[in-house]
Amino acid sequence: MEWTVSTLVSILAALIPVAAIAYQFYSPPAVTSIDEANAEADKETEPEEEKPKTIMQAARTDLDPPKDDPFTMEQLKEFDGSNADKPIYVAIKGTVFDVSHKKETYGPGGSYNLFAGKDASKALGKSSLKEEDASSDYSSLPPNELKVLNDWHEFFAKRYNIVGRVIDLPPPASNL
């Protein structure tokens, strides 16, 4: 097949619009300064940081100032969610938190109802849902479980109102 000048001109005329469209879609964006050029180069070489996915609720910004109302262990039992007219409280390391806005979790039938109305520091440190671990005495926890317990305390402090403190913790827990 021989190529004539008119055939080549026709082919080029058909390809020029295709090339112009391809250039628009595949060319880098125009930059007007060196800073913009550097920013564009960084975008191309650095992978975007992915935010970690979590099911944890975000920290709240509408918490009340912490209260220091005294509670005995016996008084705390009244706030276990069994009485719909009373709030639900959970204590960690003697700090009493109001978890009432999470009734589905801490109320009767909730997955963490075990913690309601008591100081269950040991169970939280052990990541345990066993009734025998739901105790305020966390003195036997090893360092890694103490860290878990402290992380839970910090988590609660950022998400639930502090309404008081337990004043009659058993001696091992009150010395920590």
Give the confidence band of 31 by pLDDT, cuts at 50, 70, 90.
very low
Q: What is the CATH number of the domain that holds 114?
A: 3.10.120.10
Are 112 and 155 members of one domain? yes
Sequence-separated (6 or more) residues with CB below 8 Å from residue 149? 92, 93, 121, 124, 125, 138, 141
Residue 58 included in any domain = no
Residue 25's domain comprises: 5-45
Q: Are residues 73 and 40 in the same domain?
A: no
Placement of tokens 């309404």 in the chain:
163
Q: Is the pLDDT of residue 124 over 80?
A: yes
- Residues 16, 75 share a domain: no
Asked, for residue 50, whether it belongs to a domain, the answer is: no
Per-residue model confidence (pLDDT) at position 26: 47
Which parts of the chain fold into alpha helices (H)? 5-26, 34-45, 73-76, 103-106, 121-126, 143-157, 171-174
Determine the Cα–Cα distance for residues 36 and 103; give it in Å rounded to an integer.
52
Query: How much is the pTM?
Result: 0.66
